[in-house]
Amino acid sequence: MKLSLSQMQLGSLFALVAAFLFSTKAIFIKQAYALSPLVDGTVLMALRMASALPFFLLICLLNLKRNQNIAWKDWTLLIFAGLLGYYFSSWLDFSGLMYISASLERIILFLYPTLTVLASCAIYKQRLSLKSSVAIVLSYGGTLMVMLQEQSSVAHESNFWLGVSLVFASAVCFAAYLLLTPRLIVRFGSWNYTGLALSIACIGTLLHFMLTTPQPLTLLIRLPSEIIWYGIALGLLVTVLPTILIAQSISRLGAAQSAMIGSMGPILTIILAVALLGEHMNTIQWLGCILNIIGVMMITLSKKKLAQ
């Protein structure tokens, strides 16, 4: 008997696998940091982007014809968006993970939809609806619960708040990138924009590594082979593959349903962090995590309804 998946089932599977792969990012990073004192956010980012760059350049080559008759202002905005969203934002995230747990990092990053709503209200001088206000109170209240619980358990760690600040700044940068995205997708096309923006981010990351690292090639040679493999995994399994899968999921399910499945991301990261990194979440932290997810999903789904 031959079994086949419907388009909805296939889209759900793609979204679930993408959520799982995205959730492994912090796990790979923390494990890499634990392996060698030579590794920091800049080094690991360079390995990740070097692995992913060929794929995104291929997308650019396949979409060359779409780049005709595009104004220089759009190109400038594209370069800025690529550097902001996937270079600077990612570097802040990788750096923050040197000081806080993978679980807390994922919960803070998950706030980015609320940041886009707050920014839109400020830019367009709109009032928050009651539903959005409740959602934001839930998401930030839940995040604060998790944060304070972790801070009390690592009181000896003087860089805890630095790590929190770096990851939150990463979420702010990514939210700003998302605000720029709709206009640029219209101008460049979805796949072409993805290839261009991420290629620019990869190149920016590699330049950063070359300019700020003394004897970068010597450092790469001295790295344990396990670190290189972690970098490749971050590039291919955490960046390239989920990018393809989430695009395929959205094409079959729509953005709202894909987002609902993607909301499992923080839970998956926490489960992996507990199993593989030995992290611990108490009852209050689990409650905070659930409140965060509920609040963010309220924001996400209300935005999707407005867009439809």
- Which residue is listed with tokens 């060929």? 54
Two tokens, residue 247: 């695009």
What does the pLDDT average to over 124-149?
89
How many helices and strands (H and E) does the chain possess? Answer: 16, 0
Q: How far apart are CA 17 and CA 261, in angstroms?
A: 10
Residues whose CB falls within 8 Å of the CB of residue 280, separated by 6 or more in sequence, listed in order: 274
The model's confidence at residue 226, banded by pLDDT at 50, 70 and 90, is: very high
| 3-class secondary structure per residue, 272-288 | HHHHHHCCCCCHHHHHH
The model's confidence at residue 157, banded by pLDDT at 50, 70 and 90, is: low
What does the pLDDT average to over 7-24?
89
Chain centre distance of CA 164: 15
**Does the pLDDT at position 246 exceed 90?**
no
Q: How far apart are CA 184 and CA 197, in angstroms?
A: 10
| pLDDT tens digits for range 47-70 | 999 999 999 999 999 998 888 888
- Residue 191 DSSP one-character state: H
Counting residues of the chain whose pLDDT is more than 70, the rounded percentage is 94
**Does the pLDDT at position 1 exceed 60?**
no
Two tokens, residue 84: 């902001």
What does the pLDDT average to over 204-220?
93
| pLDDT tens digits for range 283-298 | 999 999 999 999 988 8
**Is residue 101 within 8 Å of 150, Cβ to Cβ?**
yes
Return the higher-pLDDT residue of 8 and 276: 276
Q: Where is average pLDDT lowest: 64-68, 247-251, 256-260?
A: 256-260
Q: How far apart are CA 192 and CA 195, in angstroms?
A: 5
| pLDDT tens digits for range 80-130 | 999 999 999 999 999 999 999 999 999 999 998 889 888 888 887 888 888
pLDDT in the model for residue 44: 95
pLDDT in the model for residue 123: 83
Q: How far apart are CA 228 and CA 47, in angstroms?
A: 7
What does the pLDDT average to over 117-146?
88
Counting residues of the chain whose pLDDT is more than 90, the rounded percentage is 60
Taken in order 162, 167, 168, 173, is the CA torsion positive or negative?
positive
Two tokens, residue 96: 């923050």
What does the pLDDT average to over 201-214?
95
**Does the pLDDT at position 170 exceed 90?**
yes
Select from 23, 9, 39 the least CA-distant residue to 225. Answer: 39
Domain ranges of the chain: 7-307
**Does the pLDDT at position 274 exceed 50?**
yes
- How many residues does this entry show for the chain? 308
Report which residue type is found at 175. A
Is 292 in a helix, a strand, or coil? helix
Is 34 in a helix, a strand, or coil? helix
The model's confidence at residue 2, banded by pLDDT at 50, 70 and 90, is: very low
Select from 130, 113, 255, 225 the least CA-distant residue to 179. Answer: 113
pLDDT in the model for residue 77: 96
pTM: 0.89
**Alpha helices for the chain (secondary structure H):** 7-23, 25-35, 41-62, 72-82, 89-96, 102-109, 112-124, 130-153, 160-188, 190-212, 216-222, 225-235, 241-253, 255-262, 265-272, 283-307
pLDDT in the model for residue 3: 44
The model's confidence at residue 281, banded by pLDDT at 50, 70 and 90, is: confident
**Does the pLDDT at position 155 exceed 90?**
no
Chain centre distance of CA 155: 28
The model's confidence at residue 154, banded by pLDDT at 50, 70 and 90, is: low
